Amino acid sequence: MVHHVKELHFNARVSRPNEHFARLLHEQFGGPNRELKAALQYFVQAIGCRKEAPDKYDMLMDIATEEFGHLEIIGATIQMLLKGVHGDFKNAVDESDLTTMLYGSTTRDNYIHEAMENPQFFISSIETPFLNNSKDNPLNAAYIMGMGNLTADLRLNLSAETSAKRVYENLIKFTDDIYIKESLQFLMTREMVHFQRFQAALNSPLPDEEWPSMRIRYNMFGKLMSC
């Protein structure tokens, strides 16, 4: 059973709205490597091992629940980044004739261009995140993988957490907003913790273990991840 705490897991803030970075951040909201996908994947995997490995079930459910909290942080940040977008668009339309007379060009045209580039922000969503990635591709159930084999699932999750960490590293490079960086660094640190928990689980006795020699390879991979 999930207990809902009515505060964000981290105090997400932004210095100013930025619809362009909001679009990039959608990669961690509805993309193939991130928070909602991870939460659903770990939830499904947990259901599959509830009886045969109750300790792994608890771990997967714990991490899945935390990923939903991360999704809430990302969603709240996107909403803050989009604050005022529709008001700016309306003002640009209302003032377009005057702007054209004074300057020979119209801010309205700029916002129409923005609406074409980001239709979900300017036209459809009213400052609400969509379950899309940064290219507007919708979340696909094919992203969510549960192999019915705990060993295989844990290896998949190690790869997923590594990919998530890399995406956060790249997102940090594309913003100079100190508050957004703080949130992304927090989330990236938690992904590293998840990686370590999955690695520890893989190194413990598993009911369906088939390739114990693979542990050596993942031990080396874990050391690289923690560097």
pTM score: 0.77
For residue 144, the one-letter residue type is I
pLDDT tens per residue across all 227 residues of the chain: 677 888 888 999 999 988 889 889 988 988 888 899 999 999 999 999 999 999 999 999 999 999 999 999 999 999 899 886 554 444 544 444 444 444 445 555 665 555 556 555 555 556 677 787 877 788 888 888 888 889 999 999 999 999 999 999 999 999 999 999 999 999 999 999 999 999 999 998 887 655 444 444 545 555 555 55
Say what the pLDDT of residue 185 is.
98
Burial class (CB within 10 angstroms; exposed 0-12, middle 13-18, buried 19+) of 164:
buried
Say what the pLDDT of residue 94 is.
46
Q: Give the torsion sign (CA, 86, 92, 93, 95).
A: positive
Say what the pLDDT of residue 141 is.
85
Say what the pLDDT of residue 32 is.
85
Residues in contact with 92: Cβ distance below 8 Å, sequence separation at least 6, in sequence order: 99, 106, 107, 108, 110, 111
Backbone φ, ψ for residue 106 (5° rounding) = -125, 135
- Domains, the chain: 19-83+127-226 (1.20.1260.10)
Say what the pLDDT of residue 222 is.
54
Say what the pLDDT of residue 132 is.
77
Q: Report the DSSP beta bridge partners of residue 138.
A: 132
